[in-house]
Amino acid sequence: MERVEKETNQFASYVTGDYRIGVDDRVQITVWHNPELSVTVPVRPDGKISVPLIGDVAAGGNTPAQVAAIIKDKLAAFIRDPNVAVILTELRSHEFLSRIRVTGAVRTPRSMPYRQGMTVLDAVLEAGGVNDFASPNRTKLYRKEKNKTEVFDIDLNDILTKGKLETNAELRPGDVVTVPERLF
């Protein structure tokens, strides 16, 4: 299976250190020497946060440092040389982007949190293994890359019964593993 080196989804940004703030995250805004302007607020569905004195600020899609710079610029009209810090206190927006889904002929189809190093076998076992109607060697791994879905063949029966791990792919956030049913 060909391995694509560069991940393009938002979760990859989180892993590499430039986390982009998303809807439902919570951020703490601290304005040095101005505790009345320091607040902890959720990011609204429109991607904005409400900051005392200056009102709404676009946070969604920006890094904490970018949001701090925006707030600092707006506060400069009211406070001389404001020092602003933005800290993420709850990372909630990427929970669904970073999940792995296992569907089809498994005992318990499910959506589970992504964990680094997780493989197809790990995900299928966490879903209870294949059921009696499964056709495991026709298993597919679906991965969205650059707005297109790539499909990889997984020989799950060979992994489970013969220990052949060549197609036991390492999963990435957002992957979907589908085990089809046998054709009778």
pLDDT for 93 equals 77
| 164: its two tokens | 């052949």
Examine the pLDDT at 16 and tell me if it is beyond 60.
Answer: no
Tell which residue, 6, 5, 10, has the closest CA to residue 174: 10
pLDDT for 17 equals 52
18 falls in which pLDDT band (50, 70, 90)? Answer: confident
Contact predicate 19/67, CB 8 Å: no
Tell which residue, 74, 65, 75, 64, has the closest CA to residue 36: 75
CA–CA gap between residue 99 and residue 101 (Å, rounded):
7
Question: Can you tell me whether residue 143 is helix, strand or coil?
Answer: strand
Strands 176-179 and 99-104 come out as parallel
Q: Which residue has the higher pLDDT, 12 or 21?
A: 21
CA–CA gap between residue 30 and residue 87 (Å, rounded):
8
Question: What confidence tens digit (pLDDT) does each residue in 52-86 have?
Answer: 999 999 999 899 999 999 999 999 999 999 999 99
Q: Which residue has the higher pLDDT, 18 or 178?
A: 178
Question: What confidence tens digit (pLDDT) does each residue in 153-184 have?
Answer: 999 999 999 999 999 999 998 899 999 999 87
Please report, to the nearest 10 degrees, the dihedral formed by the alpha carbons of residues 115, 120, 122, 125 taken in order.
140
Question: What confidence tens digit (pLDDT) does each residue in 99-154 have?
Answer: 899 999 999 999 998 899 999 999 999 999 999 999 999 999 999 888 899 999 99
CA–CA gap between residue 153 and residue 136 (Å, rounded):
10
Lowest mean pLDDT among 25-29, 84-88, 96-100, 150-154: 96-100
The topology (CATH level 3) of 20-90 is: wza like fold (3.30.1950)
The topology (CATH level 3) of 99-179 is: Outer membrane lipoprotein wza fold like (3.10.560)
Which residues are within 8 A (CB) of 91 and not within 5 positions of it... i.e. 6 or more apart?
Answer: 14, 19, 25
- Residue extents of the structural domains in the chain: 20-90, 99-179
pLDDT for 20 equals 86
Q: How confident is the model over 24-40, as a mean pLDDT? A: 95
CA–CA gap between residue 120 and residue 167 (Å, rounded):
9
Examine the pLDDT at 96 and tell me if it is beyond 80.
Answer: no
